[in-house]
């Protein structure tokens, strides 16, 4: 049994976790098919669709238990939302916008099977992620496959580093002039801050944690680009 003892020691000191092994396939696919700017090679993803399907089957059979940590649960559902969104695009590919799917209501389709339940993307986002975890930073982790959506992270979310991932994605989104334009002459923000204002509370106060924002500057909203976030 010496080999088992050695294996357990390796797992302990390398930080091996069920979370890491659970999302390993998705992590590899994201590294391969998503660039640093968060744009997706859907043609490449299409070639690896069987691998994505394998990951979705893993999610279906491994919903987080009530004893799982908060970070394990949240990482699971963020990855599930992003992975199933990619799958929805691939099922309809080539498509120029996610809004062309299901008569403009792709998020209402109930087709996602996890633990003997069937969900829509809206169920995952609003009924689980927003309702249960109440962390406004999730809005910068969830990707809806549109150019104005926060960039898709090119790695899977992991319980071990989840807070750092969320913090980095939030800061990068706020400071990126493609999504928000903040200066002394005015503030032009992503519609995300308008649509989900109740999650952020005082939007200016939330943003001020990441950059200086003039309290007297007029706020306007940038037009949302729903074109596919394709490389």
Domain ranges of the chain: 17-221
Rg (CA), the chain: 19
Return the pLDDT at 8: 39
pLDDT band at 18 (very low <50, low <70, confident <90, very high): low
Return the pLDDT at 147: 98
- Kindly tell me if the per-residue pLDDT of 40 is higher than 50: yes
183 bridge partner residues: 186
Strands 117-119 and 219-221: what pairing? unpaired
Is the backbone of residue 230 left (phi > 0), alpha (psi -120 to 50) or beta?
A: beta
CA distance 52 to 50: 5
pLDDT band at 128 (very low <50, low <70, confident <90, very high): very high
Return the pLDDT at 216: 85
- Give the DSSP letter string of 27-48: HHHHHHHB-TTS-B-HHHHHHT
Return the pLDDT at 12: 36
CA distance 59 to 70: 17
CA distance 30 to 48: 11
Return the pLDDT at 17: 53
Greater confidence (66 vs 191) lies with: 191
- Kindly tell me if the per-residue pLDDT of 13 is higher than 70: no
Return the pLDDT at 184: 80
**pTM score:** 0.92
What is the average pLDDT across 202-209?
96
């Amino acid at each position: 049994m010496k080999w088992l003892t050695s294996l357990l020691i390796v797992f302990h000191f390398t930080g091996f976790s069920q979370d890491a092994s659970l999302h390993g396939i998705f992590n590899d696919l994201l590294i391969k098919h998503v660039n640093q700017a968060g744009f997706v090679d859907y043609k490449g993803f299409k070639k690896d669709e069987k691998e994505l399907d394998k990951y979705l089957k893993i999610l279906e059979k491994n919903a987080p238990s009530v004893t799982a940590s908060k970070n394990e649960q949240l990482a699971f559902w963020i990855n599930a939302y992003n992975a199933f969104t990619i799958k929805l695009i691939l099922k309809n590919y080539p498509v120029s916008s996610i809004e062309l799917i299901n008569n403009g209501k792709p998020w209402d389709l109930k087709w996602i099977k996890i633990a003997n339940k069937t969900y829509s993307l809206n169920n995952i986002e609003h009924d689980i992620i927003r309702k249960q975890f109440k962390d406004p930073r999730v809005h910068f982790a969830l990707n809806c496959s549109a150019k104005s959506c926060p960039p898709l992270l090119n790695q899977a979310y992991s319980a071990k580093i989840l807070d750092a991932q969320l913090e980095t994605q939030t800061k990068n989104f706020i400071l990126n002039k493609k999504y928000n334009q903040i200066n002394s002459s005015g503030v032009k923000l992503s519609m995300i801050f308008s649509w989900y204002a109740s999650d952020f509370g005082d939007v200016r106060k939330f943003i001020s944690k990441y950059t200086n924002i003039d309290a007297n500057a007029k706020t306007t909203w940038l037009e949302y680009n729903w074109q596919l976030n394709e490389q």
